[in-house]
Structure 1
C-alpha cells in the first residue's frame, strides 16, 4: 500500500479528491432545491387544479432535477475549472479557498431565494418573474413594512438562519473529510488516469447542462404536466430568479434608443404609427356631463361580482351601479400591477413590459393621452391618489401626460389608519369631493384593498369576523378559505365607492362615472380560481342616460377600450382622437383583445410567455356559477396567427412609448 505522503503529493490524486468535494457540494445543492420543491408541492397543494398521478409527479421531479443540477453545477463550475487549471501547478490551496467561498455564497443565495419564494408564491401565485423588479421603482419602505405586517416573516427568518447554519457546517465537514476511499482508485497507469479525468469532465458538463440528452435544461421544455402551477414549480427559485433578471433586462435595457424586442418573426409596424390610430367619434350618446369621474379601484377584480359569490355581499355597491348602467365582466387589464395599468389607462399606450412612469416624463405627452383628449372637450383634468406622489414617480408621470392638478395623501393630512401606503379610501373620496371643480375630468386611484390589511373594520359593521361567519354554501367548500378580514378591505373599498358616487350624483345629477380595477387582486376566496378569475377586471359605466341596453354585457374588452368608449359617449360628432383600442359601441362580433402577456377572444384565453410557458382556459359560462370547477380543461397551444397579432400589438406599444413622437 502506498504511503499517505504519496497521495498528498500526487497532483492527480489531489485533483480527484478536490473534484469529489466539489461534487459533494453540487449534490447538496441539488438536494436543497429538490427538498424545497417537494415542500412547495405539499404546502401549496390546494393550488394544483389538475388530477395528478404518480408518473406525472415523478416526471415533474425528474425535470426539476435537471434544473437543480444545472443551477448547482454552474455555480460550482468556478472551483472545478480552477481545479483543472491550478492543481497541476501545485496551487491547490487556492482551489480550496475558492471552493469554500463559492459554496458559502451559493448556499446563502439559494437558501434566501428558496425561503423568499414561499412568500412570493403566496402573494403572486408563481415563482420569481420580471414583475419582482418593478419594486425597484416602488416605495421600498412601504413594501418592506407591508411584508412585515402582512406576512410576519419571523418564522421564515428563523428558518433562514437555521438552514444557513446547517449549510455552513456541511461546507466545513466536506472540507475536512479525508475521503480515504479515494485511495483505492489511486493508480500510476496513465490510461486509467486519463479515463477517470475524462469521466469527471463529462459528468461535470452533464451536471451544468442538467441533462445527458442533446438539449439542456431550459425554460422552454419545463411544462411537462397539465397543471400550470406544478409546471411553475419545475424550475427552482434560483433559476427562476435568473430568468426574472433576464426577462426584465431584455425589456428594460433597450431604452429610448434601443431595438424593439417584439419585432421578430416577420412582425412589422408602420412608419407612421400614429396615423393608423386616428379615429373619429360618431354622434354622442349622452349630453356632455358636467363632471366625469374615472375611478380605478386597487386590486378590484371580476371574481367577487360573479353570481356564485353573491352570498358574500362583498361588492354590493358596484353591483347596484352595474345594474343601473353598463357592466362588462370580460375586461383584460393592461398589466398585472397598479402603476403599469394606470400608466396605460392615462397615456393610452399599452404596457409592453417597460416601466412607463420613468420614460413618460422624459418626453412630451402621448398623443393618446386621456387627459389631453378630455381637455380638448373643455374639461379641467385632475388626478387623485391616496398615497404619496413619489410612489412610482406617479406625480411627475401624470403631469407629463397633461393633468392640470394632482392631489395625494399629503393634501388630506398625510396617512390614514392603514398607515403604510397613505390615506384610506374614505378619506380619498372626501378629498375628491372637496377638490372637484366645475366641468372637470377626475381620475381617482384608490388604495385600501392592498396589504398590509390593517383597517379597523369594526366601526363599519363588517359582518364576517371569521370563516365561520361565511354563508353555509361557502363553508361547505372543502378547502382553505381566504381570511375574511382581508376580504373586509374589499368590502370597505366598495362601501366607500358607493357612498362617494351617491354624494357626487346628488351634487352633480348629470355626472358620469367610469369604474374599473387596476388589475386582478391576486387574492381569491379559495386557492383554485380558474384562469378567468386570475385575469379579468370589471368595467362599469354609470350616470344619467346610461342604459344597460347600450352594450351587450358579454362583450369582451381591454383597458385600452375605455378611452375611445368614453369619447364616443360624450364628444361631439366627428371629433378626432387617437387610440389603440376601439369604442365598445362599435359593432364587432368576433374580436381578440390583449393585455401584457395575456390574450383573449370570445372563446379562449391565454396567459404567460406565449413562446414558452403559458396557461390556457376555454371560456365557460358555467364557471361563473359553479363554486369549484367540475373538470380539468384540456390545454391548447396558442395558434401562430394569434401569437403574431399579440407581438404586433406589443411592438406598436413599444414604438409608441419610445419612438412615438419622432
Structure 2
C-alpha cells in the first residue's frame, strides 16, 4: 500500500511541477508581449524563442522548488502514514505559490518601468526603507489595489485549474508477481526521481557546466529579453546571492588580501609603513584656487538625471534653470559625473562618509555610529573652520540618515518637521519650502557647509504643476515626439516635477548669490535611475547626473573640460579649491582638479569619452564622441576601482586597523 500511495503521490507532484512551470512560462510570455516596447530594435523571433527556451530551462528550478515543498509536506509523510489523503496539501502549496507568483508578476511591470530590470538590489534597499511610505507610494503611483485585485483573480483561476488537474486520475502501480520485481521497480523509481531532480536542479542538464543559472542566463543580445529569462523567483534569488556576496566582500574589485598594497597607492603614500589606514589616506591641498566662501551649498537633487540637459531634449524645457546657471560666467559644468549608486541613501552615505558603495549599508553599520570615518565630509570642513549642516525635505529619521549624519560629524540635521514645512506627500515637504526655510536660517549662521537633499521629484507625483506655471498640455505634446515613449502623459507628469525641482533650486541659487555673493554652490543629483526619456535609454541617460560648480571666482576653465568625478569626489574637490596649501585631509577619491579620469558606481563606469558596465562587456560613447580607446578605459577602471572599493569595504567592516589583515 505504501508503494502504491507513493507512486500516486509522485505523479501528483509531477502535475504540480508542470503546472507551476506553465504559469512561469505564461507570465514570461505575457510580460514580453505587454512590455515589447522595451525590446531593442532588430530583435527577431529567433531571439524571442531563445529567451523563452532559456527561461523555461531556468524556471525548471523554480517549479522544482515548489514541487519539492509539496513532496516534503505530503508525499514523504504519506510514505510513513499512508492512510491520510494529503492531496489538499499539494493544492494548498500550489495555490500559495500561484498567489506569490501572481503578486510578483503584477509588481514586475511598474518595477521594470522604473529600474529597467527584473527585481534587483533595489529590493534590499526597499526592505530597509520606510515601509509605510513605500506602501502609500505604491497605492498613489503604481495602482497597488487594482494590481493586487488582478493578482487575486489570477490566483483564483490558478486554484481552479490546479484543483481540476489534481482531481484527474493517476496511473496505477504495475502488478508484480514476485517481491523481487516490486523491489526492482522501487529502486528504479528512486533512480528516476534522483535523475529528474538532478535535471531540474541544473536547469535542463545533468551537470553545472552544461546547466543554466541566473549568472549565465543572458543568452540573447537584448537586455530586456535577458531580464525576461529570469522568472520572479530567480530574480529574487539573484538579489539574495549578490547581497550575500557583497556583504562578504565578494564584489567586483573588493580584495581584502591586498589592502596594504591599495592603501599605499590610493593617495600616493607609498613610503608610509603603519598598521593604521589613516596615514595612507592623507592628502595635502595644493593651494586655494578660489577665495574662501562664507557659505557652501551642496544641492543633491532627487532624481536629478542629466539627460534633460542634452541637445536632443531641449524642446522639453525642464532644465532651463540649471542651464541658465551653467551659462553664467561664474559656473563650471562637467557631464562626466557618476552617482554613488542607484538610490538616495547610497548617494547620501557616499557624500557623508566619503566611501564608495560596496553594498554595506553604512547608515546601519554599527561602526558608523561609533566615530566618524577619516574620510567623512564633516571632518574635512571642520578643519577649514566651517560648521556642517544637513537640510532634508523629508523625515529626519528616514533610513537613519539623521543619526548617521550627526554620528559622522554633522553639527545639525534639519528635516521638514524641524522647520515646519507643509507636508506634500508621504516623503515630505516641497522643495520650495525646503529652500525658503534654509534661506531664512542663513542670517544667523556662521560660515557653514550645507548638504541639501530635495524630495519633490519623487513618486507620488502629486504637485499642482499648473498652479506652479507648468504647461502640461505643451509638455505632453513635446514628450509625444520622443521615440520609444510608452505613456506620454505619465512621463510628462514626472518631468513636470523635475522642472519644479530645477526651478526651485535655480531661484534659490539666484537669491542667495544676491544676498551672499561670497557663496559657493555644487549642484548634482542623487541618482538618475527611475526617470528615462523612453523605453530604450542609453547608459549615459539611465545613469549619469550633472556636476555644476558656481559662485565667486569660478570660471569655465577652473578645471579641465568634463573633469571626471563622482559623489565621493565632491569633498576633495571643494577642499582643493578653497584650502590653503598644505592643508591635510583624508579621502579615498582624488579631487576633480586632478582627476583619475574614471568614475564608477556598483554597475557602471565612465570616462569623459566612453561609458561601460562594470561586470559586462558592454560600452558606449558619450554623446558627441565618435571614437575612444575603450580598452584603455577598461584598464584604467581596473587600476582605480579595486583600491577605492577595497578601502571602503575595509573601513566599514574593520575600521582603520590593519592588524586584522586577511592573508
Instruction: Return the alpha-carbon distance in structure 2 between the equivalents of residues 576 and 382 of structure 1.
Output: 22
Aligned to 1:206: 199
CA separation of 1:28 and 1:186: change in aligned 2, threshold 3 A? farther
Aligned residues of 2:9 and 2:75 also touching (Cα < 8 A): no
CA separation of 1:30 and 1:317: change in aligned 2, threshold 3 A? same
Match of 1:598 among 585, 600, 604: 604
Once the two structures are superposed, residues 260-283 of structure 1 have per-residue CA deviations (whole angstroms, 9 ceiling, x without a partner) of: 996559654445433222111112
Instruction: Return the alpha-carbon distance in structure 2 between the equivalents of residues 43 and 263 of structure 1.
Output: 39
CA separation of 1:282 and 1:644: change in aligned 2, threshold 3 A? closer
Structure 2 SS opposite 1:410: coil
Aligned to 1:373: 380
Instruction: Return the alpha-carbon distance in structure 2 between the equivalents of residues 603 and 506 of structure 1.
Output: 36
Aligned to 2:302: 298
Aligned to 1:341: 347
Structure 2 SS opposite 1:533: helix
Query: Cα RMSD between the aligned structures?
Result: 2.8
Aligned residues of 1:261 and 1:651 also touching (Cα < 8 A): no
Q: Does 1:46 align with 2:41?
A: no
Aligned to 2:284: 280
Structure 2 SS opposite 1:541: strand
Aligned to 1:413: 420
Aligned to 1:314: 318
CA separation of 1:69 and 1:350: change in aligned 2, threshold 3 A? same
CA separation of 1:66 and 1:640: change in aligned 2, threshold 3 A? farther
Match of 1:56 among 7, 32, 47: 47
Tell me by how many angstroms 1:487 deviates.
0.7
CA separation of 1:92 and 1:267: change in aligned 2, threshold 3 A? farther
CA separation of 1:84 and 1:137: change in aligned 2, threshold 3 A? closer
Q: Does 1:551 align with 2:559?
A: yes
Q: Does 1:66 align with 2:66?
A: no
Aligned to 1:629: none
Instruction: Return the alpha-carbon distance in structure 1 between the equivalents of residues 28 and 130 of structure 2.
Output: 31
Q: Does 1:217 align with 2:223?
A: no
Structure 1 SS opposite 2:472: coil
Once the two structures are superposed, residues 341-398 of structure 1 have per-residue CA deviations (whole angstroms, 9 ceiling, x without a partner) of: 1111121111210111122642201211212211211112111000111101111111
Tell me by how many angstroms 1:623 deviates.
8.0
Instruction: Return the alpha-carbon distance in structure 2 between the equivalents of residues 72 and 526 of structure 1.
Output: 34
Aligned to 1:393: 400
Aligned residues of 2:17 and 2:64 also touching (Cα < 8 A): yes
Tell me by how many angstroms 1:59 deviates.
1.4
CA separation of 1:60 and 1:187: change in aligned 2, threshold 3 A? farther
Instruction: Return the alpha-carbon distance in structure 1 between the equivalents of residues 481 and 386 of structure 2.
Output: 49
Once the two structures are superposed, residues 170-207 of structure 1 have per-residue CA deviations (whole angstroms, 9 ceiling, x without a partner) of: 3322333223xx23955554456654553344223312
Once the two structures are superposed, residues 190-247 of structure 1 have per-residue CA deviations (whole angstroms, 9 ceiling, x without a partner) of: 4566545533442233123321242233122111011122212211111111221233
Q: Does 1:445 align with 2:453?
A: yes
Structure 2 SS opposite 1:599: strand
Structure 2 SS opposite 1:552: coil
Instruction: Return the alpha-carbon distance in structure 1 between the equivalents of residues 650 and 481 of structure 2.
Output: 50
Match of 1:383 among 362, 378, 390: 390
Aligned to 1:148: 139
Instruction: Return the alpha-carbon distance in structure 1 between the equivalents of residues 449 and 189 of structure 2.
Output: 76
Once the two structures are superposed, residues 507-536 of structure 1 have per-residue CA deviations (whole angstroms, 9 ceiling, x without a partner) of: 101111011101114212211110111111
Tell me by how many angstroms 1:484 deviates.
1.1
TM-score normalised to structure 1 length = 0.88
Aligned residues of 1:424 and 1:447 also touching (Cα < 8 A): yes
Where does 1:411-560 land on structure 2 (aligned, <5 Å)? 411-416=418-423, 418-436=424-442, 437-465=445-473, 468-470=476-478, 475=481, 477=483, 479-480=485-486, 481=488, 483-560=491-568
Aligned residues of 1:279 and 1:579 also touching (Cα < 8 A): yes
CA separation of 1:159 and 1:453: change in aligned 2, threshold 3 A? same
Once the two structures are superposed, residues 441-461 of structure 1 have per-residue CA deviations (whole angstroms, 9 ceiling, x without a partner) of: 111111110010000111221
CA separation of 1:95 and 1:205: change in aligned 2, threshold 3 A? farther
Instruction: Return the alpha-carbon distance in structure 2 between the equivalents of residues 302 and 375 of structure 1.
Output: 31
Instruction: Return the alpha-carbon distance in structure 1 between the equivalents of residues 484 and 94 of structure 2.
Output: 44
Once the two structures are superposed, residues 144-172 of structure 1 have per-residue CA deviations (whole angstroms, 9 ceiling, x without a partner) of: 11111111223311211111112222332
Instruction: Return the alpha-carbon distance in structure 2 between the equivalents of residues 118 and 34 of structure 1.
Output: 16
Instruction: Return the alpha-carbon distance in structure 1 between the equivalents of residues 195 and 635 of structure 2.
Output: 39
Tell me by how many angstroms 1:84 deviates.
6.8
Once the two structures are superposed, residues 569-619 of structure 1 have per-residue CA deviations (whole angstroms, 9 ceiling, x without a partner) of: 111111111111111112x6x7332212322234443336x2xxx472221
CA separation of 1:163 and 1:466: change in aligned 2, threshold 3 A? farther
Structure 2 SS opposite 1:147: helix
Match of 2:172 among 172, 183, 203: 183
**Stretch deviating more after TM superposition (637-646 or 357-366):** 637-646
Aligned residues of 1:289 and 1:512 also touching (Cα < 8 A): yes
Give the length in aligned residue pairs: 629
Instruction: Return the alpha-carbon distance in structure 1 between the equivalents of residues 238 and 138 of structure 2.
Output: 23
CA separation of 1:195 and 1:643: change in aligned 2, threshold 3 A? farther
TM-score normalised to structure 2 length = 0.88
Aligned residues of 1:464 and 1:485 also touching (Cα < 8 A): yes
Instruction: Return the alpha-carbon distance in structure 1 between the equivalents of residues 635 and 546 of structure 2.
Output: 29
Aligned to 1:134: 125
Aligned residues of 1:327 and 1:538 also touching (Cα < 8 A): yes
Where does 1:153-172 land on structure 2 (aligned, <5 Å)? 153-172=144-163
Where does 1:610-621 land on structure 2 (aligned, <5 Å)? 610=615, 614=616, 616-621=618-623
CA separation of 1:561 and 1:640: change in aligned 2, threshold 3 A? closer
CA separation of 1:468 and 1:541: change in aligned 2, threshold 3 A? closer
Structure 2 SS opposite 1:198: helix
Instruction: Return the alpha-carbon distance in structure 1 between the equivalents of residues 162 and 354 of structure 2.
Output: 55
Tell me by how many angstroms 1:647 deviates.
3.9
Instruction: Return the alpha-carbon distance in structure 2 between the equivalents of residues 636 and 93 of structure 1.
Output: 66
Where does 1:11-22 land on structure 2 (aligned, <5 Å)? 11-22=2-13
Aligned to 1:628: none
Instruction: Return the alpha-carbon distance in structure 2 between the equivalents of residues 400 and 511 of structure 1.
Output: 27
Where does 1:115-130 land on structure 2 (aligned, <5 Å)? 115-130=106-121
Tell me by how many angstroms 1:430 deviates.
0.3
Once the two structures are superposed, residues 297-343 of structure 1 have per-residue CA deviations (whole angstroms, 9 ceiling, x without a partner) of: 11001111111111111111111111221101111111111111111
Instruction: List gaps (5 residues or longer) in structure 1.
Output: 1-8, 625-632
Instruction: Return the alpha-carbon distance in structure 2 between the equivalents of residues 572 and 380 of structure 1.
Output: 18
